[in-house]
Amino acid sequence: MQKKNLTLIYNLLFLAVCGGIFLFLYLAPPETTAPLPHDDDHRAFLTMKKKVAERQCEQCHAQDGEMPLPADHPPKYRCLFCHKQK
């Protein structure tokens, strides 16, 4: 009888943890970061490896570049961590 109760407790604990994880993921906010644009300027970066592509982002997106990023933009060295390639 003791072993049955222990098994029941473990099963209920497992279900509670799974339910908590599901609830956490269900209530997570939607992704709001824009993906990498699919235009002529960014087409070459869509097929590159992330680290290689990220090294070239600052050519255009530096403060003195063609399209500077806002001052409150998060760290600029991990562009494709947020802006997905595909």
Note the pLDDT tens digit of each residue in 18-70: 999 999 999 999 888 888 888 998 988 888 898 888 888 888 888 787 888 88
Amino acid at 12: L
74 HSE (CA, 13 A, CB side): 7
Residue in the block written with tokens 């997106």: 61
pLDDT at position 14 over 90: yes
Domain boundaries, the chain: 1-30, 43-82
* pTM of the predicted structure, to 2 decimals: 0.58
